Amino acid sequence: MTVRAPSSAEQGKAAWLFLAPALFLIGGFFFLPVAASLLLSFTDFDIYAIADPDNLRLLGIGNYSELLATPLFWTALKNTLYFVLVGGPLTVAVSLGAALLVNARLVRLKSFFRTLYFAPFVTTLVAVAIVWRYLYHPEYGLLNYALGMVGIDPVDWLGDPRWAMPAIILLAVWKNFGYHMLIFIAGLQAIPEELYEAAYLDGAGPWRRFVHVTLPMLGPTLVFVALVTMIGFFQLFAEPYVMTQGGPLRSTTSLVLLMYEEGFRWWRLGYAAAVAFVLFLVILGAMLLGRRVRRGEVA
Amino acid sequence: MMYAFRAAVVCLLTISTFACGAQDKQNADITLRLWAFGREGEEVQQLIPEFERRHPGIRVRVQQIPFSAAHEKLLTAYVGDATPDLAQIGNTWIPEFAALGALEPLDAWVNRSEVVDSADYFGGIWSTNTVGDTLFGVPWYVDTRVIFYRKDILARAGYPRMPTSWSEWRRAMEAVKRELGPNRYAIFLPTNEWAQPYVFGMQAGSTLLDSAGRHGVFSDLAFRRAFEFYVGLFQSGLAPALGNVEIANVYQEFARGRFAMWISGPWSLVEFRKRIPAELQDDWGTAPLPAPGGDSAGVSLAGGSSLALFRASRNKEAAWQLVEFLSSRTQQEEFYRLTGDLPARTDAWQATGLAQDRQARAFWLQLHRVRPIPKVPEVELIATRVFESAEQVIRGGRPTGAALEALDRDVDRILEKRRWMLDQRAAP
């Protein structure tokens, strides 16, 4: 019996048929809303426009130029970059460190520590924020108490514009490192033991084994974790929203928080959509830059 | 685009109304939907059985909404044509919902009513419910800001009575600060609250916006004077530069004497009685806000919540009966007993003894001297810009003049759309 090979046209049809449900969902729930909000960002859609469509004006790039002329936008961009550039590497470093510790052969109770470090990640942020607000309290907080023991004057963590962002970064690192730690552990366990043995026989100490075996073998994992952390950290929102509401002196207002306030507090939805697209471009730019750095085109 | 957005919201909302509304339909002719917020939404349900007893054929379904979600919920309901028959509305939101055309004008209803009469209400509060010449809400309970202070500390500093003029008040604060020493303060004014700078501005005679609500007038002399008085309290160390999230428990700090004065609203009456230790209960008092000149009490905020009917309601007659019921003197008294909210009707103050109450009396006096904030939908956004400007001066060391000019520019940008619409309407 011979089976006729389906023509390429038939194959194409079948492929589209199989893809249709997924395409429909992605189109309906992703591309369409994205396109709609892109259009929105060229208008001044707000509560007046909700009341009467005649109150809608096409602004072209008006929202974008207003955004770039607003000091608050630059403050938010600066804060977001601060958070990403300090908090991101810190998270990667801490989670790699924790993974190495938990994965070390000498450590007992591995699963206990793994659970312990992972716990913050699965805890509700709002509950965490309440506890951390007490930790950070300028007068009765544990953190200042500990600093006082070593003779450092109390710091008004959430009330001082200089310290509020570091405080948020500390919280975010603590909250997030457990998840990346797990990914790193998986990466570490995939490194063949022979490589370490060979390096050991060649006389490499722990540090050189780490630099020349662990790091290169972890490469793809490291890139993945760095990317995911970056993208996640650019979207900083919940931490300042529950801890500081963007204050003091706007020192913890991130781009997403700004977008939320404009969109869902003041209902300037067109303007908020413009913030969203600028954020998208910023993340895209950061990713492209990251890729070029990885390829060694920029050193 | 807009329609797609609307349609999506409509879809979601209709699903939920069908799901939860179905079982109520059969045993009554009319089912009213009342939305109320937070604690009010909980306690008002105790008043409903009496209303239903008096009005057979009308059933009331109260939906309680958390205060923090209320504004958003009302707006999305409007977008989705799913507004309730009537709702509690914060009276600073009225201009916004009136601009949307969501609310039913109430003048005709009040004119016909034998229960609701503007003469029974505090004038300043009543006027927050009008936009232009049209009435959109009936005050339900009222709210304003007064001073809560430690009588013992002020007396030790040589002030047995709360001063009534700004200059004397300032001197009293300096004396209190000397009495309390470092790390303690004469007054706590959270830097991230909008009420205080607004109130000081209105006391100094500023209208905040020009009469048509087209431009800010924040760099004018009147507001500038108030702004300088306000930021001066921080600059000379009389008030700590702290926001309200940075003080974990204000009542505790007040009891500990961390600060001797605080500007707050009626809810604090309840909290002070509950949370201040028994031995200090005789040592705290309330007073109307001092005025720049001191001849009479300074003005304060006209706050509170109103009851409003929605234009889209098909049961306006029944809904108005519920408004009248909740506005009657006896129900106002009952509601005060349930919630501690100050009654909107002045005659309810007499019967409950509130007007004579030692600590509530300051509110009684203050409520006769309240003034609405500008009635434009953007007023809350502008309010946050105002306190942020003050923060920039207090914490960032920005010069006052520059801060106020930047504020006026900012406010002008915010009001640009409003000006355009006013011009459109004037032109046609």
Query: Of A135-139, B19-23, B323-327, which gets the smallest average pLDDT?
Result: B19-23
Res B351: pLDDT: 84
For residue A249, the model assigns a pLDDT of 86
Token pair 């060694």 is found at A296
Interface contact B243-A159, CB threshold 8 A:
yes
Residue B101 has its nearest CB partner, among A44, A51, A133, at A51
Asked if the Cβ–Cβ distance from B245 to A244 is below 8 Å, we say yes
Q: Quote the longest CA-to-CA distance of chain A.
A: 89
Which residue from A46, A250, A265 is facing B417, i.e. has the nearest CB?
A46
Cβ distance B388 to A138 less than 8 Å, yes or no, reads no
Cis peptide before B163 (omega within 30 of 0): no
Please give the pLDDT value at position A5. Answer: 74
pLDDT tens profile A271-280 = 999 999 999 9
Residue B174 and residue B372 in contact, taking contact as beta carbons nearer than 8 Å? no
Report the pLDDT value the prediction gives residue A20, as an integer from 0 to 100: 94
Instruction: State the virtual CA torsion across B56, B58, B64, B70 in degrees, nearest 10.
Output: -150
Q: Residue B303 pairs with which residues in a beta bridge?
A: B143
Q: Are the beta carbons of B246 and A267 separated by less than 8 Å? A: no
Whether the CB of A163 is below 8 Å from some CB of chain B: the reply is no
Question: Which residues of chain A does B417 touch, with a Cβ-Cβ cutoff of 8 Å?
Answer: 44, 46, 48, 55
Please state the length of chain A. 299
Q: Which residues, in sequence order, are CB contacts of B326 under 8 Å at separation 6+?
A: B44, B47, B140, B307, B332, B335
What is the residue-wise DSSP string for B395-427? HH---HHHHHHHHHHHHHHHTHHHHHHHHHHH-
β partners of residue B62: B34
Evaluate whether A147 touches A154 at the Cβ level (below 8 Å): yes
Structure tokens at B20: 């939860």
**Which residues in chain B are closer than 8 Å to A245, comparing Cβ atoms?**
192, 245
- The 8 Å CB, 24+ separation contacts for B210-213 are B212/B422, B213/B374, B213/B375, B213/B376, B213/B415, B213/B418
Average pLDDT over residues B200-210: 94
> What are B331-363's pLDDT values in tens digits?
999 999 999 899 999 999 988 888 888 889 999
Give A60-68 contacts, CB < 8 A, sequence gap 24+.
A63/A270, A63/A271, A63/A273, A63/A274, A64/A274, A64/A277, A64/A278, A66/A271, A66/B413, A67/A271, A67/A274, A67/A275, A67/A278
- 3-state SS assignment for residue A141: coil
Question: Quick one: average pLDDT of A59-65?
Answer: 92
Model confidence pLDDT, tens digit, residues B220-252: 999 999 999 999 999 999 999 888 777 778 899
B100–A39 CB contact, under 8 Å? no
Tens of pLDDT, residue by residue over A71-91, are 899 999 999 999 999 999 999
Contact call for B99 and A40, based on CB within 8 A: no
- Residue A173, sorted as left (phi over 0), alpha (psi -120 to 50) or beta, turns out to be alpha
Q: What number of other Cβ atoms are within 10 A of residue A237's Cβ?
A: 14
A262 interface with B at CB cutoff 8 Å = no
Q: In percent, how much of chain B has pLDDT > 90?
A: 79
Question: Does residue B9 carry a pLDDT above 50?
Answer: no
Interface A-B, measured as beta-carbon pairs within 8 A, has a size of: 76
Distance of CA B345 to the CA centre of its chain: 16
pLDDT at residue B198 is higher than 60? yes
Q: Rounded to an integer, what distance in angstroms lies between the CA atom of residue B383 and that of residue B410?
A: 12
User: How confident is the model at residue B107, as a pLDDT?
Assistant: 96
Q: For the CA atoms of B102, B108, B112, B115, what is the dihedral angle to 10 degrees? A: 40
| Whether A159 contacts chain B with CB within 8 A | yes
Distance CA B112, CA B350 (A): 26
- The answer to whether the CB of A45 falls within 8 A of the CB of A56 is yes
* Interchain CB distance below 8 Å, A138 and B246: yes
Contact check, Cβ <8 Å, A248/B1: no
Contact A252, A244 (CB under 8 A): yes
Cβ-based contacts of A36 with chain B (< 8 Å) = 1, 4-5
Query: What pLDDT is stored for residue B22 in this prediction?
Result: 41
Q: Which chain B residues touch A47 with a CB distance below 8 Å?
A: 75, 96, 99-100, 377
- Confidence label for B15 from pLDDT (cuts 50, 70 and 90): very low
- Check pLDDT > 90 for residue B55: yes
pLDDT band at B24 (very low <50, low <70, confident <90, very high): very low
Q: A264, B191: Cβ pair inside 8 Å?
A: no
CA-nearest residue of chain A to B420? A55
What is the per-residue pLDDT for A246?
A: 86
> What confidence tier does B297 reach under pLDDT thresholds 50, 70, 90?
low
The DSSP symbol for A205 reads -
Give kind and range of the element (H or E) at residue A203: none
Interface of B with A (CB under 8 A): 1-2, 4-5, 72, 75, 78-79, 96, 99-102, 191-192, 241-243, 245-246, 248, 377-378, 380-381, 388, 391-392, 395-396, 413, 417-418, 420-421
Which of A32, A249, A252, A262 should we substitute to test contact with B (largest number of B Cβ atoms within 10 Å)? A249
pLDDT in tens, B146-185: 999 999 999 999 999 999 999 999 999 999 999 999 989 9
A137 with B420: Cβ contact below 8 A: no
pLDDT band at B1 (very low <50, low <70, confident <90, very high): very low
pLDDT at position B14 over 60: no
Nearest to A279 by CA among A69, A67, A36, A125: A67
**Overall size of chain B counted in residues:** 428
**What is residue B16's predicted lDDT score, i.e. its pLDDT?**
45
Minimal Cα distance from A129: which residue of B? B245
Q: Which residue of B has its CA nearest to A63?
A: B413
- Token readout for B318 is 């029944």
| Beta partners for residue B103, in sequence order | B310
Chain A residue nearest residue B414, CA to CA? A268
Query: CB B338: neighbour CB atoms within 10 A?
Result: 16
Find where tokens 């207090």 sit.
Answer: B394
Instruction: Indicate if the pLDDT at residue A8 is higher than 50.
Output: yes
Spatial separation of the C-alpha atoms in residues A273 and A38, rounded to whole Å: 7
Whether residue A74 lies within 8 A of chain B, CB to CB, comes out as no
Predicted pLDDT of residue A291: 82
Sort out which chain A residues have CB atoms less than 8 A from B72's CB and list them.
264
Q: How far apart are CA B177 and CA B186, in angstroms?
A: 5
H helices of A27-160, in order, are 32-40, 47-51, 62-69, 71-82, 88-103, 110-122, 125-135, 142-149
> What is the enclosing helix (H) or strand (E) of A42?
none
Phi-psi region of A4 (alpha: psi -120 to 50; beta: other; left: phi over 0): beta
Per-residue model confidence as pLDDT tens digits over A9-56: 888 899 999 999 999 999 999 999 999 999 999 999 998 888 888 889
* Cα→Cα distances A279→A64, A186, A268, B326, B347, Å: 12, 32, 17, 49, 56
Q: State the Cα–Cα distance between residues B109 and B316, nearest whole angstrom.
A: 10
Instruction: State the amino acid at position A279 in one-letter form.
Output: L
Contact B58, B29 (CB under 8 A): yes
* Average per-residue pLDDT for chain A: 90
Cross-chain CB nearest to B99 (options A51, A140, A249): A51
Asked whether residue A207 carries a pLDDT value surpassing 80, the answer given is yes
Nearest C-alpha in B relative to A40: B1
| DSSP result, B280-324 | GTTSEEEEPPPBSS-SSPPPEE-EEEEEEEBTT-S-HHHHHHHHH
Interface check for A49 against chain B (CB to CB < 8 A): the answer is yes
Reduced to 3 states (helix: H, G, I; strand: E, B; else coil), residue A277 is helix
Closest-CA residue of chain B to A261 = B381
Question: Which pLDDT value is given to residue B23?
Answer: 41
Q: Over the stretch A154-197, which tens digit does the pLDDT of each residue have?
A: 888 888 889 999 999 999 999 999 999 999 999 999 999 999 99
Are A159 and B248 in contact (CB < 8 Å)? Answer: no
Q: How far does A279 lie from chain B, in Å, by closest CA?
A: 22
Going from the C-alpha of B123 to that of each of A250, B106, B302, B379, the distances in angstroms are 38, 17, 10, 21
**Computed from CA positions of residues A21, A26, A27, A32, in that sequence, does the dihedral angle turn out positive or negative?**
positive
Distances (CA, A) of B137 to A163, A234, B107: 45, 44, 9
| Cβ-contact B298, B167 below 8 angstroms | no
